[in-house]
Structure 1
């Protein structure tokens, strides 16, 4: 569904005259139906990469293909956006209407969808994110998690094959983050939508099929959550955390307790501690 080939992006407005690379030779393939998490500290290139998947930015070198369409060509922008929808960090910045159902209808209207079909899409999308009962509400009266679910419904109504989420839970409380992650997992597992989820919450990262770690505009790790979080020292060296339970297991191993690497959740930790007992 997504294929980056030597993808490069730089800004040439640096006062020194030097090219400032935000992506440098990224090669990555994401298959249909995958749930891929992208990690990296601020400035690593992950948000720039996300914007290329939705044609918000065009490459200055290399190529990126979305569902076999060359997203580096300006004339393909709208075809790319029909296939890849994007959800941003701040839900308030994504609301364009004063009523929830009108906000969800905005995307399909801009795609020229038939009005009767828009009605069906809006109702179905709101039901899929469990927000149908709020369809007549004003968005500003909703909680942060509810707003973000409405934003996701607006993307679903456009019938994309891919949803790219750029730190969608960063401004939410723990309850809101849980709501949004449950919705994301449901869209992936039940409807087969390809998910690219950018986050700095490691407990969210373990829910992906794969984790891609970026550093200085390059992909430095691409593996399963268990194999990625085995590399505690490497992740710390580039300014990233690991899940708390993984950190605890790592520290216990340093103290001589024989725990396996890559423990990702409390259940695994309890099981291994009971096995030692």
Structure 2
């Protein structure tokens, strides 16, 4: 059995705008995502990262190449139901994903559609809401909740379907900083404590620091792969493709340039404080 949750092999995706205008959104992408991994995909708008994400649970099918989810070929229609069970997707706008007027009914919607027994649905709903820290809101109306809370409900709705992998396409883009923090902590928690593979598409560098591994996309291609330290210490290249790096990495880079000898791969404020305190 493969250790990979998702495999992309030479994946190409073309948008046909009209007869004479074809845009290649994803261009020959090779990517393996291990079971239990927390992977972040970075790239500015138009880099192809969201298009690639939609291939990971067969919302889009490749124009060329292959995508496998838990060894199942996404282009085989017979696999579709199983793939969607294995890999759930959470989108940018939580309002677009909430279908019921009571939180627990919304979380029950997915497993009901899978034909899960009522008693098992009850168990899954309670368990999923506990996992995302929203159990006490189970009787509330979702539209009265904050953006971060709604997004956690959307994640609970996916968890109730018992996926092995969750793909999150800029899930914090519409949230304020405290909502963003809530959602990222939830994602980290379900990855670490429940072993669920996480693929997070984001343009917030501070969120990417938490990942096991980062891949960077530009103009439809994967141009960098590595740990957060590997990726972010490459400040000139990141700037060149229009991406930021975490503020502390940038500060370390600028201090280095001005002749202060400190490690350029610093990621967090705590690391920076430690290093500065050790300077003679």
Per the normalisation by structure 1, the TM-score is 0.98
Residues 83-126 of structure 1 show CA distances to partners (whole Å, capped at 9, x for unaligned) of 00000001111110000000000111111111111111001000
Partner of 1:4: 8
> What secondary structure, in the 3-state scheme, does the structure 2 residue paired with 1:12 have?
strand
Query: Which residue of 120, 124, 140 corresponds with 1:121?
Result: 124
How far apart are the structure 2 equivalents of 1:127 and 1:91? Answer: 19
> What secondary structure, in the 3-state scheme, does the structure 2 residue paired with 1:85 have?
strand
Equivalent pair of 1:58/1:73 in contact (CA under 8 Å) = no
How far apart are the structure 2 equivalents of 1:31 and 1:94? Answer: 27
Q: CA deviation at 1:201?
A: 0.6
Partner of 1:249: 252
How far apart are the structure 2 equivalents of 1:72 and 1:268? Answer: 45
Residues 153-187 of structure 1 show CA distances to partners (whole Å, capped at 9, x for unaligned) of 00000000000000101111111111111100000
Query: Which residue of 183, 192, 211 corresponds with 1:189?
Result: 192
Partner of 1:42: 45
Equivalent pair of 1:83/1:159 in contact (CA under 8 Å) = yes
How far apart are the structure 2 equivalents of 1:213 and 1:31? Answer: 17
Per the normalisation by structure 2, the TM-score is 0.97
> What secondary structure, in the 3-state scheme, does the structure 2 residue paired with 1:43 have?
coil
Q: CA deviation at 1:4?
A: 0.4
Q: CA deviation at 1:19?
A: 2.5
How far apart are the structure 1 equivalents of 2:109 and 2:188? Answer: 24
**2:142 is aligned with 1:139:** yes
**2:202 is aligned with 1:199:** yes
Q: Show structure 2 runs of 5+ residues with no match.
A: none
Map residues 150-169 of structure 1 onto 2, 5 A cutoff: 150-169=153-172
Q: CA deviation at 1:3?
A: 0.4
Map residues 73-92 of structure 1 onto 2, 5 A cutoff: 73-92=76-95
How far apart are the structure 2 equivalents of 1:18 and 1:98? Answer: 43
Partner of 1:272: 275
How far apart are the structure 2 equivalents of 1:262 and 1:81? Answer: 38
How far apart are the structure 1 equivalents of 2:142 and 2:261? Answer: 51
Map residues 14-93 of structure 1 onto 2, 5 A cutoff: 14=18, 17-93=20-96
Q: CA deviation at 1:143?
A: 0.6
Q: CA RMSD in A?
A: 0.9
How far apart are the structure 2 equivalents of 1:116 and 1:269? Answer: 51
**2:267 is aligned with 1:259:** no
How far apart are the structure 1 equivalents of 2:26 and 2:83? Answer: 20
Q: Show structure 1 runs of 5+ residues with no match.
A: none
Equivalent pair of 1:161/1:193 in contact (CA under 8 Å) = yes
How far apart are the structure 2 equivalents of 1:160 and 1:71? Answer: 16
